[in-house]
Amino acid sequence: MSAVLLLLFCLGGTRALDNGLALTPTMGWLHWQRFMCNTDCKSDPHNCISENLFMQMADVMVTEGWKEAGYEFVCIDDCWLDSSRDLKGRLQPHPTRFPSGIRKLADYVHSKGLKLGIYQDVGNQTCAGFPGSFGHYEQDAKTFAEWGVDLLKFDGCGFGTLDLLAEGYRNMSIALNKTGRSIVYSCEWPLYEFSLQKPNFTEIRKYCNHWRNYNDICDSWDSVKSIVDWSAGHQDVIVEAAGPGGWNDPDMLVIGNFGLSWDQQITHMALWAIMAAPLLMSNDLRMIDPRSKALLQNRDVIAINQDPMGVQGRQFFKVNNFELWERPLANASFAVAVFNRLEIGGPRVFKLPLYFIGDGTACIKGCGITQILPYRWDFGWQRSNHALEIKVNPTSTVLLKVTVHRELYPKLTFVHEDKHRNDIL
Ligand SMILES: *[C@@H]1O[C@H](CO)[C@@H](O)[C@H](O)[C@H]1NC(C)=O
Ligand SMILES: *[C@@H]1O[C@H](CO)[C@@H](O)[C@H](O)[C@H]1NC(C)=O
Ligand SMILES: *[C@@H]1O[C@H](CO)[C@@H](O)[C@H](O)[C@H]1NC(C)=O
Ligand SMILES: *[C@@H]1O[C@H](CO)[C@@H](O)[C@H](O)[C@H]1NC(C)=O
Ligand SMILES: *[C@@H]1O[C@H](CO)[C@@H](O)[C@H](O)[C@H]1NC(C)=O
């Protein structure tokens, strides 16, 4: 066991929610960013929030290699509910959009070897105005467990007071535990706290498997940048909160939609891997550009995101519109991202001195460097007095894996051949 891992397990204060789940960041699909609150099944049956949408996503997750790549959860966001509870006070899905009910939908998703996520809110109403869970935490947790739900995204709209917010998130966590069913608990507790008081991440980690800290992501480069900048700006607080069982959630992946250039999609994927972020795609898997699909299914990037040591990476150097990010990985390896923030001109070269990596320790006895993004490239075994010339497009990122143990370096295996290299160059 490495020193870092040992430290993580020994710090009583960073103990994770004890449900045995999310030992690596959750992977799956979540409807919000791409499909929002589209309830108009009359004129837009293909894209409205209905059981068909989730069944179709489950189908393609299996047939198009998503499940095999590790994407496991099919998640419903807001707008699945009917406008009121039933006579016994139980939640009910919208009758015409989810005519078979959630239990049937869960059975269907489970029959594909996938898991089902659902959405509720700590307050009296969800963000879109549907019945919230306030006053019904135990009842709703029981309902979700009876339906066979595997993940709950619990929003914080209309939380009332900070005390009610905290009590609500804690009480729902306890209620989920009491059901006896394993349910990943995805919180937005710190997001609603941040503007009013400093969140207590020791406590949040005790009750939640992941937690949103900052604004919803949109399908734009400005949005991705603002999240990255927020994360870097708060890394001294949030990075140490992350670890197996509990993660900072910078929100969904919007790769494969409309708003990001190819280079920006690479940056999005690379930095979400470095940040140990849940990988919850919000896109249309039924119709997605093959290049975006290959990026989202890139086994080497996913392996960095899912690294078993579970240490979140951080920005460690900024110069001349370049940002360097680094994440320590198992087996004394590292992931390093070189991000070009300049939004004018052409590709620029960053000379990466190898003594930068791992606080100067990584390459002392030499190290193996493999470029993972934008395309696979072996730099070979390097000495620490060397500087690598890394060429990065505007708004793009070069993601490297640095292997310290020589015996592991030639054993790095790559599932995806470099077939996209030509369209990138
Ligand atoms: C509930 O919590 C207990 C103690 O913290 C834990 O051992 C158990 O596995 C949890 N059960 C579920 C279903 O999460
Ligand atoms: C929900 O509504 C009830 C009744 O109006 C109120 O007492 C309670 O404080 C509300 N909860 C929140 C979180 O605002
Ligand atoms: C949380 O649970 C405690 C103990 O059952 C209860 O006293 C409190 O009212 C609950 N708070 C909320 C917001 O439901
Ligand atoms: C944060 O929460 C932990 C665990 O609940 C508690 O022990 C600690 O006192 C809290 N810290 C602050 C500053 O409130
Ligand atoms: C660490 O190295 C061992 C071989 O020494 C290998 O089996 C294991 O998969 C490696 N772990 C990771 C996360 O790369």
Q: Mutation test of ligand 4: which of 193, 200, 206 has the most ligand atoms closer than 8 Å to its C-beta?
A: 200
Q: What percent of the chain has pLDDT over 90?
A: 91
pLDDT band, very low/low/confident/very high, at 422 (cuts 50, 70, 90): very low
pLDDT score, position 411: 61
- Nearest alpha carbon, ligand 4 atom 3: 203
Tokens of 378: 């072996």
The 8 Å CB, 24+ separation contacts for 60-66 are 60/285, 60/286, 61/29, 61/112, 61/114, 61/285, 62/112, 62/113, 62/114, 64/285, 64/293, 65/297, 66/29, 66/285, 66/296, 66/297
Tens of pLDDT along 306-329? 999 999 999 999 999 999 999 999
Taking the CA atoms of residue 342, residue 348, residue 352 and residue 358 in that order, the dihedral angle to the nearest 10 degrees is: 40
How far is ligand 2, taken at its centre, from the CA of residue 124, in Å? 6
**Bridge pairing between strands 151-155 and 115-121:** parallel
Ligand 2 site residues (CB inside 6 A) read 123-124, 134, 158-160, 164
**Bridge pairing between strands 27-30 and 279-281:** parallel
On the question of pLDDT at 424 being above 50, the answer is: no
Name the helix (H) or strand (E) containing 348: strand 348-353
CA separation for the pair 138, 171 (Å, rounded): 8
On the question of pLDDT at 208 being above 50, the answer is: yes
On the question of pLDDT at 54 being above 90, the answer is: yes
Q: Which residues contact 136 (CB under 8 A, 6 or more apart)?
A: 85, 89, 91
Calculate ∠ Cα 115-5-308, nearest 5°.
30
The identity of residue 327, as a single letter, is R
3-state secondary structure 166-190: HHHHHHHHHHHHHHCCCCEEEECHH
pLDDT band, very low/low/confident/very high, at 13 (cuts 50, 70, 90): very low
Q: Mutation test of ligand 5: which of 408, 411, 412, 414 has the most ligand atoms closer than 8 Å to its C-beta?
A: 408
Q: What are phi and psi of 317, to 5 degrees?
A: -160, 145
Average pLDDT over residues 99-120: 99
pLDDT score, position 408: 87
Tens of pLDDT along 231-278? 999 999 999 999 999 999 999 999 999 999 999 999 999 999 999 999
Q: The pTM is what?
A: 0.95
CA separation for the pair 217, 240 (Å, rounded): 23
Give the active site residues: 155, 216
The identity of residue 344, as a single letter, is I
